[in-house]
Chain A
Amino acid sequence: MKKGRVWKYGDDVNTDVIFPGKYTYSVLEPEEMARHALEDLDPNFAQQVKPGDVIVAGRNFGCGSSREQAATCLKYAGVQAVIAKSFARIFFRNAINQGLPVLQSEEAVDNIKNGEEIEIDFASGKIKTEKGVFTFSPFPESVLGILKEGGLIPYTRKKLKGIE
């Protein structure tokens, strides 16, 4: 269990404000992507985010483009997990494929304050906050496998090696 500071945002945080389209084909290194994370939503984020911090947001987080950098930039910025009321489908897949846990809990989002420190226990599916403990459904086996390997690419690499 790791403590992390909360960065709280609203509904419909889209891929253009998470990682602007103008960088999608010119910024190629993940560390550089991290420096532009959430640039058009919260210019302070990329400068002040610390490893282990958590993004908490409302409905439809990650809507818009299929650009995977939206997940990559958050992961390399040190974000431990994103907790939201709901996620846009492609972002949800991309986040898991980048090894970035995405947790859905309406109750937790409603009760967590911006700036507070929370703890997430991935194994038991619990989020410990100032206002109490909230639960999320633990990941299915297949998703856990990908997260454990750090993303789909290392996961597939391992699987392909097994076949050879």
Chain B
Amino acid sequence: MGKTFSEKILGLKAGREVQAGDVVTVSPDTILSHDNSAAIIKEFEKLGVKNVKAPQKLVIILDHVVPASSEKYAANHKAIREFVAEQRIPNFFDVSEGICHQVFSENGFALPGKLILGADSHTTSYGAFGAFSAGIGRSEVASLWATDEIWLKVPETIRVEINGTLSAGVYAKDVILKIIGDEGSDRANYKAVEFAGEAVRGFSLASRLVLANMAAEMGAKNGYCEPDEKTVQWLENREDDYSGVTSDPDASYEAVLEHDISSLEPQVACPHTVDNVKPISEVEGTGFHQALIGTCTNGRLEDLEVAARILKGKKVHPQVRTLIIPASRQEYVQALKKGVIEIFADAGCIVLNPGCGPCLGAHQGILAPGEVAMSTANRNFRGRMGSRDSEIYLASPATVAASSVEGKIADPRKFL
């Protein structure tokens, strides 16, 4: 019987043959943390050791509340900078760089075949490059900093075969929303999700990141796309120290789910769960107050360009405020060079600095009671972006841009 990518990567790390269900003690290649490093440092200090065991493995990126919006956040950032200097952590990215998952990828840490663990639930993102990549808690990260060791259960794998060709105005975000809507928010709990099929091979790395990022919203431990020539091309000039790991053709899967996307229409996740997904035709016309185009799910150049094509020469509806947050400084610069940012500013959008923005409800556009947001993010839980009496709809950058123009949820296909 063949092996899944999860069994192979964790087997390589454990130094023995493993299969789904086995518990392994492993040492990861890279350990990510962000603003929560301040809290992790406090836990680390309780462990009674002075030094981080493998400082070269740590990647710390400040993104959640950047720049600091209060004295408390500022003190957290300061404590992190001091720790980074003391412990000589080489891979530190300060508040200027952007969202951790984008910055981590751009700097060549997200690599095929690697084992990556991070103190963030959307650490699943790096599976887009063929890594085994999972989110863990902060006690675990603190413990990893000290011991460079953690136990993991080898997950069963669900293979999601995505076939067919997307129609115009429909994107990877619609595909993953449809899958989550059909399968439910806990379908992949404790499991790996392998995205495969001709559609996935046709997707850019930016689009594959949308799939792997949102695997977390199916409860997945990790998401994965098979690395191919597109992956190699993306990594060119970034990093070449890796070797791809793929599932065997006769690997044993928990399930193989098939989705044909040829007749898919734009999808919207309605309040207050990500699996409450409806086709655009059922929610068109719903009013809202704030739009957000950005986040680790959909803040890349590819997303900004799609939104700009719709907003070009138009104005954001007077009853709506539209926030644009490029995922990273690098994406921001490219968008600037291509004139995309100018289109947003002309249309009346608010362009904010790269970071998580209001996605987690900490700053830069908090919702008042009774307000409704349209967002390209990955989560729409009650109260996430502010008041517990606010609502969030999730959709693709195209749908959010089209809705911004109309002042109500709109089908982007009308704008093409």
A residues in contact (CB < 8 Å) with B: 12, 14-17, 20-22, 24-26, 28, 39-41, 59-60, 63-68, 71, 86-90, 93-94, 97-98, 142, 151-154, 156-157, 159-161
| 0/1 string, B133-172, CB within 8 A of A gives 1 | 0011111101100110001000000000000000000000
- Could you pull out 12 A-B pairs where Cβ atoms are within 8 angstroms? A21-B360, A22-B361, A22-B366, A24-B360, A25-B76, A41-B382, A64-B121, A65-B121, A65-B360, A90-B121, A151-B139, A157-B48
Q: Among the interface residues B39, B139, B366, B379, which one has the most CB atoms of the partner chain A within 10 A? A: B139
B221 at the binding interface (Cβ < 8 Å): yes
Nearest A residue (CB) for B155 = A89
Q: 10 closest pairs, A vs B, by CB?
A: A21-B360, A60-B186, A16-B381, A94-B137, A40-B383, A68-B137, A97-B139, A66-B121, A40-B388, A152-B139
Q: Taking the nearest CB of chain A, how far is it from the CB of B269, in angstroms?
A: 13
Q: Is B306 an interface residue (CB 8 A)?
A: no
* Complex Cα gap A41–B382 (Å): 9
Task: Name B1-59 residues within 8 Å CB distance of A.
Answer: 23, 35-36, 38-39, 42-43, 46-49
Contacting residues of chain B (326-383) with chain A, CB-CB under 8 angstroms: 360-362, 366, 379, 381-383
Q: Give the distance in Å from the alpha carbon of A86 to the alpha carbon of B49 in the complex.
A: 36
Instruction: Quote the shortest CB–CB distance from A45 to chain B (angstroms).
Output: 13
* The one of B120, B121, B140 that contacts A152, using a Cβ cutoff of 8 Å: B140
In Å, the complex CA distance between A59 and B361 comes to 25
Within 8 A of A (CB), among B228-247: none
Smallest CB-CB separation from B190: which chain A residue? A89
Q: What is the chain B residue whose CB lies nearest that of A146?
A: B139
CA separation between A107 and B381, bound complex, in Å?
27
Given contacts A26-B72, A157-B48, contact A21 B384 (CB under 8 A): yes
Contact B47 A156 (CB under 8 A): yes
- Distance of A68 Cα from B119 Cα, bound (Å): 9
Docked-complex contact A21 and B189, CB < 8 angstroms: no
- Contact residues in A for B49 (Cβ distance below 8 Å): 160
Query: What chain B residues lie within 8 Å of A16 (beta carbons)?
Result: 361, 379, 381-384
Task: Establish whether residues A93 and B136, one from each chain, have CB atoms under 8 Å apart when the complex forms.
Answer: yes
On whether A89 and B151 interact (CB within 8 A), knowing A20-B361, A66-B136, the answer reads no
Measured in the bound complex, the distance between the Cα atoms of B64 and A25 in whole Å is: 9
B381 & A17 in contact (Cβ 8 Å cutoff) = yes
Residue positions of B touching A, CB distance < 8 A: 23, 35-36, 38-39, 42-43, 46-49, 64-65, 70, 72-73, 76, 119-121, 123, 135-140, 142-143, 146-147, 151, 185-186, 189-190, 219, 221, 273, 360-362, 366, 379, 381-384, 386, 388
Query: Is A60 a contact partner of B136 (Cβ separation < 8 A)?
Result: no
A26 touches B147 (CB 8 A): no
CB <8 Å contact, B47 and A64: no
Given contact pairs A97-B137, A152-B143, A25 touches B121 in the complex (Cβ within 8 A):
no
Complex contact A94–B139 (CB within 8 A): yes
Report whether A63 and B140 are in contact in the complex, using a CB–CB cutoff of 8 Å: no
Q: In the assembled complex, how far is the CB of residue A68 from the closest CB belonging to chain B, in whole angstroms?
A: 4
Q: Which residues of A contact B70 (CB under 8 A)?
A: 26
Query: With a CB–CB cut-off of 8 A, which chain B residues contact A24?
Result: 36, 64, 360, 362
Closest to B40 in A: A68
Residue of B nearest to A159 (CB): B147
Query: Which residue of the partner chain B has the closest CB to A98?
Result: B139
Interface centre among A68, A97, A160 (most CB of B within 10 A): A68
Pair B38/A89 contact, Cβ less than 8 Å: no
| Pick from A14, A26, A157: contact of B381, CB under 8 Å | A14
- Establish whether residues A153 and B43, one from each chain, have CB atoms under 8 Å apart when the complex forms: yes
Contacts of A161 in B (CB 8 A): 48
- Closest CB in chain B relative to A102 CB, distance in Å: 13
Complex contacts, A25 vs chain B, CB 8 Å: 35-36, 38-39, 64-65, 72-73, 76, 362
For the complex formed, measure the closest distance between the CB of B134 and the CB atoms of chain A, giving whole angstroms: 8
Query: A160 to B48, Cβ gap below 8 A?
Result: yes
Contact A88-B189, Cβ < 8 Å, known A24-B36, A66-B121: yes
Residue on B with the closest CB to A156? Answer: B143
Report whether A59 and B143 are in contact in the complex, using a CB–CB cutoff of 8 Å: no
Query: Which of A25, A87, A93, A153: most chain B CB closer than 10 A?
Result: A25
The answer to whether B383 touches A160, judged by C-beta atoms less than 8 angstroms apart, is no
